[in-house]
Amino acid sequence: MPEPAITLHTPLTKFRGVGPTRAAALAKLGLHTTADLLAYFPRDYEDRTLRESIAVLPPDAPAAVSALIAEPLRTSYLRPGMDVTKGRAVDHTGQLELTFFNQSYVRRDLHPGQAYVFYGQVTVHGTRRQMTNPLFEPEGKWVQIGGIVPVYPLTAGLSQNFLRTLLRTALPACLSQIEDPLPPALRAEHQLVGAQEAYRAIHCPPTWQDLQAARRRLMFEELFCLNLGLTYLRTRRECESALPFPNQDLSALTGSLPFQLTQAQRRAIDEAAADLRKPTPMSRLLQGDVGSGKTVVAAACALFAYQNGCQAAFMAPTELLAHQHQATLETLLRQAGLRIALLIGSMTPAQKRQATAALAAGEIDLVVGTHALLSEGVQFARLGLVITDEQHRFGVGQRAALAAKSGGTLHPHVLVMSATPIPRTLALMLYGDLDLSLLNELPPGRTPVETYLIHENKRPRLYNFVRKQVALGRQVYIVCPAVSQEDPDGLKAAEQYGHTLQTEVFPDLRVGIVHGKQRSKEKQAVMAAFAAGDLDVLVSTTVIEVGVDVPNASLMVIENADRFGLSQLHQLRGRVGRGTHQSYCVLLSDNENPQTRQRLKTLAATTDGFALAEADLKQRGPGDFFGTRQTGLPQLRLATLEGDLTLLQEAQTAARQTIQADTTLTHPDHQALRRRISALFQEKGEIFN
């Protein structure tokens, strides 16, 4: 036992057996203190509850039993490098034969006449029962065997046993210090067990029912706290001030469009326009499938800012996209009179100085850059609107910083755009602090991308198809899950595979390679060459997921397609079918897992991003949608274990009721809750007080 007493803040290095190596491994899992450890939940459980006797051990299943070693164990040598140690354990009902391969050391640990518990796969031969390489420990020790045993996610340098032992020391020592953020009345109403009971049972469940109750309680807590935090943020935002944009004349934009706005675009623009007329900051998420025409909606908002004497900033995820957006926005808004500038890292210092000076002087109306745009000491004369593409969350902290940048206490309006479709139920949860506009309609005249799922053995035919497309003047994307062959699992790697394709398969075609490990300049050059039609085939990693628009590309090949999530596959597919040519998406996978095949077939059968998101939700539960790279929300630990939408809705309703009853969370019953939420969001850089 470490001295002094263990608290929730005790560093794990204070525990016996945690030296520098293990401390580093624990840190890799984000585990530094006892509190981290307690919140590190098992990914699975094994039923190692002791069976009554040897005679009732079920055949061909793993099981645990207590028995007495009957005689000394004997090792025989089968051949060099292979020995077998055999023993016999007994109880009043029968015999259990024990066989250990290459574990002759067990002779030292298993003493005749003493009782042990064994856990292993049971086989039955006639009247004999047998276990090969079972786990065992002295009876009564109860670390590995004797109950429902947790299985933790591991990393190199840590074993299950080590983590279990660590938890067994830490848990009892500081269980009583755990504060329950859920007020008793709420717990009673939703039939939730207390926090201490839940933490105990999630790590050491006495029964499966206890485990179920613990998981339900902890998941409710996560969902509830997340939702409460978002609801609170929203209430706070409604008290902030922004400059209203009463002058709104859309004709300056629509007049220069070569097409009619879709119904969905009109509705989204109307919704944003209504927000922008108010003296509170807009905070709107615009969700629409790839190609649904989000840029025009953004342009409309920028136009309104301009018509009210304000500047707008448009932020893209990559420099490449910033370039492309700048070009598009120029075309859309030049006629309306907006002065548009690009500001990205790769510009020369002189170019940057010129752009920043012009921004500060108010000589630029719309600046386009990457997400870093706002952190680079840029000053605005009068920033009224921020638009971000593919970055879901825009923190309160960031908004406050922006207000300071624009030289006042007024907050800019914020429009967040996303092509990641999220089912509405979840969107309401994930973006409880944002208003939502949907572009659920594609502009007319698009031909849906034909999608096929094929096996490796069709590869030669696929190569022929690539040639055919190129012969027609089209271009082809080939996406690989890995960058280089050093990546594990024999996945297709962009570097080597690209090289092989160029030298062996398509020596007569122009093949380019692009991946995330290249320098930005290099990437940009390859992408630009592809966009200009100077390359026939582009072999890449998912960096092209949010890449430039190449309407001439008509074929998307995705290697090891089973490695990607449905939404990601859908995003990748959205790279083709942007022009007038019939386009194709080919998914390569030899993965025979029926669920995986079903998932990939769903993609082949559906082109509607929202329907796919619903399918993802049904098949994999809501966990996948939380903590994905774009949501930027506090990570949920349990939501991946359980796909319980009902609970999610229950937590959401409870959060709303709690805020309605106590808007500022100042009631004494809510203090623990307030601390919990504050900690949760502080981690993410939100200012929460």
**Cβ at position 308, least distance to ligand ADP in Å:** 23
Measure the CA–CA gap between 439 and 449, rounded to whole angstroms.
19
Q: Which stretch binds ligand ADP (CB under 6 A): 211-219, 255-263, 357-365, 370-378?
A: 255-263
Give the strand pairing for 62-69 and 82-91.
Answer: antiparallel
Asked if 579 interacts with ligand ADP (CB under 6 A), we say: no
Cα–Cα dist 136/119, whole Å: 6
Q: What is the DSSP string of 173-212?
A: HHGGG----S-HHHHHHHT---HHHHHHHHHS-SSHHHHH
Please say which residue, 292 or 308, places its beta carbon nearer to ligand ADP. Answer: 292
Shortest Cβ distance from residue 599 to ligand ADP (Å)? 24
Of 174 and 296, which has the nearer Cβ to ligand ADP? 296
Nearer to ligand ADP, 420 or 640 (CB): 420
**443 binds ligand ADP per the rule CB under 6 A:** yes
Residue located via tokens 């300056």: 252
Nearest CB to ligand ADP, comparing residues 204 and 296: 296
With CB under 6 A as the rule, give the number of residues binding ligand ADP: 15
Of the candidate residues 294, 413, 599, 670, the single one contacting ligand ADP (CB under 6 A):
294
Q: Is 259 in the site for ligand ADP (CB under 6 A)?
A: yes
Q: Which residues of 563-598 are buried (b: 16+ CB within 10 A; e: fewer)?
A: bbebbbbbbbbbbbbbbebebbbbbbbeeeeeeeee
Helices 319-333 and 294-307 pack at an angle, to 10 degrees, of 60
* Positions 415 through 434 that interact with ligand ADP (CB under 6 A): 419
Q: Any idea what DSSP says for residue 548?
A: -
Among 227, 262, 356, 418, binds ligand ADP (CB under 6 A): 262
640 C-beta neighbours (distance < 10 Å), count? 18
- The residue number whose beta carbon is nearest to ligand ADP equals 293
The answer to whether residues 68 and 62 touch, using CB atoms and an 8 Å cutoff, is no
85: part of which helix (H) or strand (E)? strand 82-91
Please give the helix or strand (H or E) that residue 316 lies within, else none.
Answer: strand 311-316
Please report how close the Cβ of residue 558 comes to ligand ADP at its closest, in angstroms: 19
CB of 443 to ligand ADP, least distance (A): 3
Shortest distance (Å) from residue 574 CB to ligand ADP: 7
Stretch that binds ligand ADP, among 29-37, 243-251, 259-267, 427-435 (CB under 6 A): 259-267
Q: How far is Cα 219 from Cα 192, in angstroms, rounded to an integer? A: 10
| 150 versus 293: smaller Cβ distance to ligand ADP | 293
Give the interface segment with ligand ADP, choosing from 209-217, 254-262, 380-388, 457-465 (CB under 6 A).
254-262
Q: Rounded to an integer, what is the distance from CA 210 to the centroid of its chain? A: 29
Determine, following the binding rule CB under 6 A, whether residue 292 of this chain makes contact with ligand ADP: yes
Do the Cβ atoms of 470 and 536 come closer than 8 Å?
A: yes
Contacts of 653 (CB under 8 A, 6+ apart): none
Beta strand 283-288 pairing with 584-588: unpaired
Which of residues 293, 384, 609, 622 is near ligand ADP by CB under 6 A? 293
DSSP state of 11: B
Stretch that binds ligand ADP, among 159-167, 288-296, 420-428, 619-627 (CB under 6 A): 288-296
Helix, strand, coil percentages for the chain (3-state, nearest 5): 40, 20, 40
Distance CA 627, CA 393 (A): 12
Considering the complex, state which of residue 259 and residue 452 has its C-beta at the smaller distance from ligand ADP: 259
Candidate ranges 4-12, 129-137, 221-229, 287-295; the one touching ligand ADP (CB under 6 A):
287-295
Q: Provide the β-strand partners of residue 458.
A: none
Q: Is 577 in the site for ligand ADP (CB under 6 A)?
A: no
**Burial of 282 per CB tally in 10 Å (0-12, 13-18, 19+):** buried
Q: Of the candidates 276, 290, 415, 588, which one interacts with ligand ADP according to CB under 6 A?
A: 290
Please pick, from the candidates 87, 183, 288, 432, the single residue that binds ligand ADP as defined by CB under 6 A: 288
Query: Per CB under 6 A, does 265 bind ligand ADP?
Result: yes
Q: How far is the CB of 410 from ligand ADP (least distance, A)?
A: 29
Instruction: Please report the DSSP string for 631-676 in residue order.
Output: T-PPPPSSTTT---HHHHHHHHHHHHHHHHH-TT--SGGGHHHHHH
Instruction: For residue 664, count CB atoms less than 10 angstroms from its CB and return exposed for 0-12, middle for 13-18, buried for 19 or more.
Output: exposed
From the CB of 439, what's the least distance to ligand ADP, in Å?
A: 7
Of positions 54, 148, 261, 373, contacts ligand ADP by CB under 6 A: 261
From 78-86, 178-186, 217-225, 253-261, give the range in contact with ligand ADP by CB under 6 A.
Answer: 253-261
- CA–CA dist 381, 384 (Å, integer): 10
The stretch among 193-201, 285-293, 585-593, 608-616 that binds ligand ADP (CB under 6 A) is 285-293
- CB-nearer residue toward ligand ADP: 260 or 660: 260
Among 287, 295, 418, 524, binds ligand ADP (CB under 6 A): 295
CB of residue 297 vs ligand ADP: minimum separation in angstroms? 8
Element (H, E) at 109: helix 106-109
**Shortest Cβ distance from residue 258 to ligand ADP (Å)?**
8
- Give the per-residue SS3 of 364-392: CCEEEEEHHHHHCCCCCCCEEEEEEECCC
Give backbone dihedrals phi and psi of 580, rounded to 5 degrees, phi first: -95, -5
Q: Mark the segment that binds ligand ADP (CB under 6 A) among 289-297, 458-466, 472-480, 602-610.
A: 289-297
Considering the complex, state which of residue 134 and residue 293 has its C-beta at the smaller distance from ligand ADP.
Answer: 293
Write out the two tokens for 215: 């998981």
Q: How far is the CB of 259 from ligand ADP (least distance, A)?
A: 4
Q: Is 291 in the site for ligand ADP (CB under 6 A)?
A: yes
> Min. distance of Cβ 361 from ligand ADP in angstroms?
30
Find the shortest distance in angstroms from Cβ 528 to ligand ADP: 18
Residue numbers of the site for ligand ADP (CB under 6 A)? 259-262, 265, 288, 290-296, 419, 443
